[in-house]
Structure 1
Amino acid sequence: MKRFLFIIILVALVTNVFAASSTNYVSSPEAITSSGGSAESSSYNLKSSLAANITGVTSSSSYSVQLGFIAASVTTTTTTTAATTTTTTTTTTLIPTISTLYFDGRTIEAGDTVNNAVTIITTLSAAAGINISTSSVEVDSISTFLAALTGDSTYETGSGTLTYKSAAVFVDGSHTFKVVAVDNSSNSTEESISFSVNTSTGITGAVLTYPNPFNPNTQPTQITYQLNQDADVQIFLFNSLGQLAWKQHYVSGSEGGHAGYNSVNWNGISNFGGIVPNGLYFCRIVVNGQVVGKGKIAVLK
């Protein structure tokens, strides 16, 4: 009888060998002394009544567990780490947009000269809609809400077109124009630019040409200048003998005759129909019968 009981106890305590193939499994080792197997799962969890709670990650590796101590001992052929997954949620807020600012139908660079009675146009848009009670136009630090615009200054809610024309002409000097767009969700954006006004007849700065020298057989040259106000402009080119080689007229408000930056081309062809000879040519820019700008152009073929 004692031999029979001893055999039963021995069978209960014999090594228990098993293989794990599930995605997750739990081994409760209170009833065994040791175990071993081949792990094909992506994760496993071992629990011991003796305060062992070990979580690891393995892949096609063998492991063994021996209990009976204060903590379980786990050995793997791969590095076991405790993994923490962090989920980051990114929320995109759609802010209002302000399109390019057009001054009398043209774009300008900061500091450019414009007419003293310039008209400025842009377009506002927002997914939540533009709030005309909080959106504004600011001229030289004086703000006007879109809902309060009067006269020739308007905001069209359907198209989002903002048109600004000052009730009084701008005085000579530097000015700043700013648009603040606020939508119905209180998101906002702004766009600003500085500009200059000079009511005197003439050109601000030098007359510049590029390339210079230039070869008419390969490319034209550009004649550039900053005109103070819209004006009828005439450009004359004379050769070194004082003979007229080329003459061109530009209507007020057109390219070559509008306030601000102007750029016109000369292809090296005279008014008589042929390419001019090599040499130095003298440029004269005339407004209202007055020479307001001078320059030199070298032709080298």
Structure 2
Amino acid sequence: MKNYKPIFLAFLIGLSACKKENANENVPNENTNNRSATEELSWVNVIPTTSFSNFSTYWNNLYPWGSDHNGSARMRTQNIAVSSGVLTLTSAPTSGVGNSTSSPYLAIKYYSGTIYAKTIPVVNDSWPKWHFKGEFQCESQTGTWPAFWATGASSWPPESDFMEFKGSTTCWVNTYKNPSGGWSSVGVPISSPGSWHTYSVYMTKISATDVSIEYWIDGVLKSTQTGANFVGQGLYIIIDYQMEGSSGAPGPTGTTYMRARNVLVEKSATL
């Protein structure tokens, strides 16, 4: 009778190695599109990564409510530019133009740029999972306030700050309103925020009213927060280069820039 023992042992070793490889495929890694255990989801594209090349189809200039917000910059279309699929928002000092029309009504010291998406995402039973993602170059000196965020289209709150720099190299990811009725905030140090980095968020319905929000930076999960009363609320998606306010003062004396590319919004009907 032939000795099959060596052959059988080799088969078991090969089978074990195969199982380990398959197990590694299930490790969450946003860089490999595993999407935090959501690889099997069927995603529907809402805003493609090429949207800046078809800007007027997907985006509007300024804020949904106008040119002013909570900092010292007034937004203008002249400070918004797109070239080769890259959005550039330019902030430059100005003076003698009065105060912001929004609280806390700071003196306008800059002209800058902001845009918002024409699509208004809604987390609901039909579309319980959404993904927001983009690559950004951000200023980080005192008085610069670049952000990629979502806010309630019909009321505030809710708000989710996918990426926010407030005058330093710390990126803040924030959720308002959390279950206790206030802010959840996590600061993440970023090496060279003026280089391209990827900021990504998964927003998932977890109850009749609430969502779970995963904040990823450069393919690494940095924070998971709960957003209360997000379900059923339309959201404005905003790419914003505001100045001073929460980012400190005085701001830059010269021209500064925020850039974005490959911004993506997609949704899934399954969890």
Find the structure with the greater CA-based Rg.
Answer: 1
User: TM (normalized to structure 2)?
Assistant: 0.20
Which structure has more relative contact order (CA 8 Å, sep 6+)? It is 2
User: TM (normalized to structure 1)?
Assistant: 0.18
